[in-house]
């Protein structure tokens, strides 16, 4: 009975985990891109220099460390890019799209010991900097961490919030808030570790902190997973119940002996 229960338990757990499709860490937006020119055919690529726009396609449906020959029509014609990402080895996010509602970000290569960041070019969205993440139906997106940088030695407090939903004008419930955190000159890492079908990361910036382009975002780490079907959850619960029952029977036999 002991072996049978353990075998069933192992089968149920493995099946449920595979069905969930969980990946602990996935894509990291390291804000690196190469520019390949404009036109119908991409030309030779060169690393983006400071001031290049991080186009809307960056971070969309990531399936590797590099996405090559990606066309963008952000500027009215076709421009070509190679996008670079980080990863901790547990998969990417081909079922997640991102957006930067209310913000347009530019690339900056280095400031002190901070490299490769995205700073807002055209102000901020309503009440801060935003990044929105939307998973395909049947999936969830998990936001693990993100860095906020300030290009100034004077410290100011900022707050990282994560809401469910992807509409900055009608956000869902607040899932995470860091509270006020002092940011100056180097990156500060926030670790929300929350999941939903869609999420919006907001960095709420203080009044009186100078131009918004003094702030930047870096190393946004997120992953995807299949939403467990009710049948998978029921299967896992049944397996745990069988194991508990088997242990009780074994305990009863031991007491009799």
The per-residue pLDDT for range 213-245, each reduced to its tens digit, is 889 999 999 999 999 865 444 344 444 444 454
pLDDT band at 248 (very low <50, low <70, confident <90, very high): low
Quote the domain boundaries for residue 247. 1-24+229-257
The residues near 43 (Cβ < 8 Å, ≥ 6 apart) are 36, 37, 80
Specify the CATH number for the domain of residue 221: 2.60.120
pLDDT band at 247 (very low <50, low <70, confident <90, very high): low
Q: Which of 118-122, 127-131, 199-203, 209-213 has the highest mean pLDDT?
A: 199-203
8 A C-beta contact, residue 27 and residue 222: yes
Given a cut of 60, whether residue 60 has pLDDT beyond it is yes
The per-residue pLDDT for range 66-75, each reduced to its tens digit, is 999 999 999 9
Given a cut of 70, whether residue 42 has pLDDT beyond it is yes
Same domain, 198 and 143: yes
Same domain, 140 and 40: yes
Same domain, 125 and 250: no
Could you say which DSSP state residue 227 is in?
P
**DSSP element (H, E) containing 32:** strand 27-38
pLDDT recorded at residue 51: 92
Same domain, 64 and 102: yes
Task: Compute the distance between CA of residue 142 and CA of residue 226 in angstroms, rounded to an integer.
Answer: 11
CA-nearest of 122, 101, 131, 140 to 29 is 131
pLDDT band at 254 (very low <50, low <70, confident <90, very high): low
Structure-block tokens of residue 159? 């707050």
Same domain, 149 and 252: no
Burial of 25 (0-12, 13-18, 19+ CB in 10 A): middle
Same domain, 156 and 233: no
Q: Which residue has the tokens 């959850």?
A: 233
Higher pLDDT, 157 or 184: 157
The residues near 54 (Cβ < 8 Å, ≥ 6 apart) are 31, 33, 105, 106, 107, 118
Given a cut of 50, whether residue 150 has pLDDT beyond it is yes
- Centroid of chain to Cα 244: 37
Of 14-18, 118-122, 195-199, which gets the smallest average pLDDT? 14-18
Same domain, 8 and 134: no
Same domain, 74 and 195: yes
Our count of domains for the chain comes to: 2
Same domain, 121 and 37: yes
Mean pLDDT of 85-95: 88
DSSP assignment of 34-56: EEEEESSS----EE--TT-B--T
Same domain, 82 and 162: yes
pLDDT recorded at residue 243: 42
Report the percent of the chain where pLDDT is more than 70.
77
Report the percent of the chain where pLDDT is more than 90.
60
């Amino acid at each position: 009975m002991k072996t049978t229960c353990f075998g069933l338990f192992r089968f149920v757990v493995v099946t449920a985990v595979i069905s969930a499709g969980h990946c602990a860490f996935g894509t990291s937006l390291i804000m690196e891109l190469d520019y390949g020119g404009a036109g119908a055919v991409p030309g030779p690529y060169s690393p983006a220099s400071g001031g290049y726009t991080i186009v809307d396609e960056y971070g969309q449906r990531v399936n590797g460390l590099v996405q090559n020959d990606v066309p963008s029509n952000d500027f009215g014609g076709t421009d070509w890019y190679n996008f670079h990402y980080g990863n901790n080895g547990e998969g990417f996010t081909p079922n997640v799209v991102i957006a930067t509602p209310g913000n347009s970000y530019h690339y900056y290569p280095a400031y002190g010991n901070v490299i490769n960041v995205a700073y807002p070019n055209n102000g901020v969205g309503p009440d801060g900097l935003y990044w929105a993440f939307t998973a395909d139906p049947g999936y969830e997106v998990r936001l693990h961490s993100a860095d906020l940088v300030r290009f100034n030695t004077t410290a100011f407090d900022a707050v990282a919030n994560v809401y469910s939903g992807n509409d900055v004008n009608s956000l869902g419930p607040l899932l995470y808030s860091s509270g006020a955190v002092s940011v100056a000159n180097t990156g500060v890492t926030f670790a929300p570790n929350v999941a939903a079908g869609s999420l919006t990361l907001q960095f709420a910036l203080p009044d009186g902190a100078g131009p918004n382009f003094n702030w930047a975002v870096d190393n946004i780490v997120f992953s995807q997973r299949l939403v467990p079907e009710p049948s998978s959850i029921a299967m896992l619960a049944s397996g745990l119940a069988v194991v508990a029952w088997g242990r009780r029977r074994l305990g009863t036999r031991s007491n009799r002996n």
